[in-house]
Amino acid sequence: MTGEAAPVLDVAGLRTVFRSTAGPVRAVDGISFAVWPGETLCIVGESGCGKSATALSIMGLVPRAAGRVEAGRILFDGHGDLRALDEDAMSDLRGSSIGMVFQEPMTSLNPVFRVGGQIAETVRRHRRVSAGAAHERAVEMLRLVGMPAPARRAMDYPHQLSGGMRQRVMIAMAIACDPKLVLADEPTTALDVTIQAQILELFDELKSRLGSGIVFITHDLGVVAEIAQRVCVMYAGVIVEQAPVAALFANPLHPYTQGLLASIPRPGRARAGARRLHAIAGMVPNLAHLPQGCRFRDRCPEAFDRCAAAEPPLAMPAHGDGHPVRCWLHVDAPA
């Protein structure tokens, strides 16, 4: 985190509500975080925790029929609050100042156009350049993301490329206009580990090279450990813990984070050591039927009466060194 510089993205009190058959559900329920230039912030959580809804909310891409951003502000790099911008202004930002990479590149690329042409179109949409210059830029971007024979590959259609190559095209498109911010939602989840390693390395390189801020959304704590500087752990629509990556893994404070970290098999800790994995009881909560008080309490091994009474705030722990955590265990009992 750079001390002096302003954050490129500063989200405060973001709340996004989706319609559902069981009534409105708060997929994102008041979250705040900031991303500085040249850092990777990971948002980690399980299905339904609100991590993808957070990305859609920032981009202004929550489908109107499905739900809407209800509260909060999204300050982006001197553009003021993105929520105040109209659709034209937002779509100018998307693809230029804000790059996006999604999980499944095949559904994000147009199957009937050559990939080089699609990148060039993004460039021309946001910059006054000739078609020739845009094409050159596209090839240059493909080279930057490690595409072999970029000039030739630019003439390929998406179906002619492998999954890893398509994801490289998506990344090339996302960074073609030197974005200040890259939002990546599970960009390596559909890829093999060898290709994932290549893509993670690419993200790391781009972060240092372009100085962009990166919001990297994932469910995989291994990937978090590889790529994040700071981490937000989300559960049922809220951030339950926020920390630099080393502190999160060395000293997890929230019982949910502790449970998640304990439940993944670690290298070297084979059968001989532990006969069973640590399992978190219960299941991922249904947002339409959240428990009163702390959202995690019905799965929490350490829940006590205060957890049922009220939801704990996200706050610095009362004792010892630490980082923000949303848990009554770390708040002094009222006198």
Which CB, 274 or 318, lies closer to other proteins? 274
CB of 289 to other proteins, least distance (A): 13
Which CB, 2 or 160, lies closer to other proteins? 160
Residues that bind other proteins (CB under 8 A): 46-47, 148, 162, 164-165, 192-198, 200-201, 219-226, 228, 245-246, 249-250, 259-261, 263-272, 274-280, 283-284
Distance between CA 81 and CA 72 in Å, rounded?
A: 9
CB of 46 to other proteins, least distance (A): 4
Which CB, 84 or 246, lies closer to other proteins? 246
Q: Is 123 helix (H, G, I), strand (E, B) or coil?
A: helix
Computed on alpha carbons and rounded to an integer, the radius of gyration of the chain in Å comes to 21
Two tokens at 23? 């009534």
CB of 193 to other proteins, least distance (A): 5
Which CB, 40 or 122, lies closer to other proteins? 40
Which CB, 155 or 246, lies closer to other proteins? 246
CB of 37 to other proteins, least distance (A): 21
Mark 150-177 as b/e (b = at least 16 C-beta within 10 Å).
beebbebebeebeebbbbbbbbbbbbbb
Mark 230-260 as b/e (b = at least 16 C-beta within 10 Å).
bbbbbbbbbbbbbbebebbbeebbbbbbbbb
Distance between CA 242 and CA 254 in Å, rounded?
A: 10
CB of 283 to other proteins, least distance (A): 5
